[in-house]
Amino acid sequence: MREPASRAALPIIEFFKKDAAWEVHWDYQEAPESSILFKRQEYLRGYIDGTMDDLGIHPDKVCCASGLTGSVKRLSRPQAVKLHNALERLLNPIVTKEFTRLQNMANLPHLRLVDPE
């Protein structure tokens, strides 16, 4: 039987310099708590699109962007840092709360139906 995880499998969100520009990449981790990202895809996509618009990131710099995975290239350093921080503030709490919820559900006492006779 699989050992229960002690920490939530948070999405990997990273930014780095490539040539003269910066890139931001993110990817969910395969775990039960990550299912919440699939369930809330529409909301997450809207939030991420709005954040990129607010940061002045032109759509032609976006390779893909969803609540699950994304890749945005040719950014300035301030844009990359702000997008990275916004993604962490968005995705990490959602996954962490789902992890806690699943742990609490697993720790509920199981009731047995006993025949009164």
Q: What pLDDT, on a 0 to 100 scale, did the predictor assign at position 57?
A: 96
pLDDT tens figures, 56-96: 999 999 999 999 999 999 999 999 999 999 999 999 999 99
Q: Which pTM value belongs to this model?
A: 0.86
The residues with which 18 forms a beta bridge, in sequence order, are 21
Ordered structural domains, the chain, with CATH: 12-103 (3.30.1360)
